[in-house]
Amino acid sequence: MNDRTAAPIALFDSGAGGIGVLREVQKLLPREQLVYFGDSRNAPYGERSAQEVKELVLFHGERLLKNAKALVLACNTATAVAAATLRQRYPGVPIIGMEPALRPAVHSLKNPKVLVLATAATLSQEKYRLLQKKYEKNATVWSIPAPGLVRLVEAGHGDSPQTDAYLRTLLADLPTPPDAVVLGCTHFPFAANALHRVLGDIPLWDGAAGAAAQLKRVLEQKGLSASTGAVGSTVLNASDPRSLPLFLRLLHP
Ligand code: DGL
């Protein structure tokens, strides 16, 4: 019988954002073979139609699942538009997705004002609207698309004066400063320093560690974890190989 425990885990994002998730998975699952793919040639996904994103995610997801025992959609946009379809097509295969971390952000403070930054594609999904509605009972929630932030991170400028300036303009119309920010796009943790410079020392919530923990749980439940003697490895791939130096820099800051 084919030993699936030794097969790799694939992680997928539109580009560099999922590297933050990869870092958490490396920490938590050091014995696993990890294969990362960033579709940087087609990024940003968030500015594409839901149909286009879905086609790209299904194409790459199916390709990656030919060899992988599990798939991490390390991209909120890909999860929002295509996770359900992929799970239908691959029942029984662990497919882990990302969701904006509104729950911990809202529950950690009393009636907070929470800013959710994500892609337009994520925010326009029915799934997100329902999530926002659920937490609006206990919080003021402002949801703002930040496409420029994806581009700045993809260009390697997530922590730069340009990013500070972009955020200042983007957030100029907020009625008051938020108490917390939900990073609903995996690119945005790479702009954490800029967000703190612009918004002060407030909590930033992202789902990378939660996704890694969920992956570990599901692999254990299904008996798919790498055996105890295994030595882990990581392979980085990109549809535009010019992105690989950036991926490496973000992986080993
Ligand atoms: N990193 C992705 C996300 O989490 C998408 C960014 C993009 O390509 O627009 O939503």
Q: Which residue ranges form the domains of the chain, and what is each CATH number?
A: 9-97+208-251 (3.40.50.1860), 102-205 (3.40.50.1860)
For the chain, 253 residues long, give each residue's pLDDT as a single digit of tens: 468 999 999 999 999 999 999 999 999 999 999 999 999 999 999 999 999 999 999 999 999 999 999 999 999 999 999 999 999 999 999 999 999 999 999 999 999 999 999 999 999 999 999 999 999 999 999 999 999 999 999 999 999 999 999 999 999 999 999 999 999 999 999 999 999 999 999 999 999 999 999 999 999 999 999 998 889 999 999 999 999 999 999 999 8
Q: Taking CB atoms and a 6 Å cutoff, what residues make up the pocket around ligand 1?
A: 13-15, 17, 43-46, 75-77, 119, 122, 150, 185-187
Q: Which atom, in ligand 1's list, is nearest to the CA of 187? A: 1
| Å from CA of 188 to ligand 1 middle | 9
pLDDT given at position 228:
86
Does the CA dihedral 190-87-3-216 come out positive or negative?
positive
Q: State the catalytic residue, choosing from 10, 35, 71, 75.
A: 75
| Å from CA of 74 to ligand 1 middle | 9
DSSP3 helix / strand / coil % (the chain, rounded to 5): 45, 15, 35
Report how far apart, in Å, the C-alpha atoms of 248 and of each of 68, 75, 155, 158, 253 are: 22, 18, 13, 15, 8
46 is catalytic: no
Predicted model pTM:
0.97
